[in-house]
Amino acid sequence: MDAEPPLSPAQAPRNPDLKVRVASAVVMLAIAGIAFWFGGLVFDLFVAAVGFGVFAEYVMLVSKIADNQTRLASMVIAGAVYIGWASLALAVMPEPLVLAVIGLVICTDTGAYFTGRAIGGPKIAPKISPSKTWAGLAGGMAAAGIWAAVVVLTAGYLLSAMGPTGPSLASALEVANVGVAALVGALLAVFAQAGDFYESWLKRRAGVKDSSRLIPGHGGLFDRIDGMLPVAIIAGTAWAATQAGL
């Protein structure tokens, strides 16, 4: 039997690993969802395991960058503080705030992706991340701002439901500063993108495409939560400060 000719570029599937990516995403969401559902110690152990995995990938990256032991040690210590601080913040934050942080990062990435593809335009730092544009950043900030405003408004609505008059959108608007929430959300989107750029810079310096091959079709753990790390640090630290009365 004659062998079939190879597919031409036009005939080849555009996303040959799409099924693998979707399957991996489903598994990741299921594991994270189960950990979040049980909460408490189960969620803390989940966060610790992910944090340790991210730190291991970080160490592998910087070991390819550092040209001497002193620099390697300083980069490892910096990474331990950065990743450990974010992991601790996620572990101590109340569950609604964790969901708000996750949603904000997802909205940032989604808004940046679709706005960047639709508008294009000048790149932010083409030598670090060639696909990211200023238009994409603006779209991510807008999406994150809307998410933060909706979260705060929803919280105000739920609080109004406990009042004598019952749930009221008008009461929610009185207690929820939607404008400030939107501005904070947009600012956090900038930090989320900065976390993404930081990991991209590390990978460029290390000469690798992904932080690891742990997740089929998605790369490593660091690749998945790079933008969440700085947002978790800011949100968790701010929450802890309010709890301490600072």
CA 144/CA 113 separation, integer angstroms = 13
CA 1/CA 3 separation, integer angstroms = 6
**Partners of residue 123 on adjacent β-strands:** 133
For residue range 67-92, list pLDDT tens digits in order.
899 999 999 999 999 999 999 999 99
Assess whether pLDDT exceeds 90 at residue 167: no
| Percent with pLDDT over 70 in the chain | 85
Assess whether pLDDT exceeds 90 at residue 108: yes
- Evaluate whether 123 touches 132 at the Cβ level (below 8 Å): yes
pLDDT of residue 9: 45
The strand ranges marked E within 40-190 are none
pTM recorded for the entire structure? 0.86
When the pLDDT of each residue in the chain is averaged and rounded to a whole number, the result is 86
pLDDT of residue 5: 47
- For every residue of 6-53, DSSP letters joined together read PPPTTTS-S-TTHHHHHHHHHHHHHHHHHHHHH-HHHHHHHHHHHHHH
Assess whether pLDDT exceeds 50 at residue 3: no
Most confident of 4-8, 164-168, 211-215, 222-226: 222-226
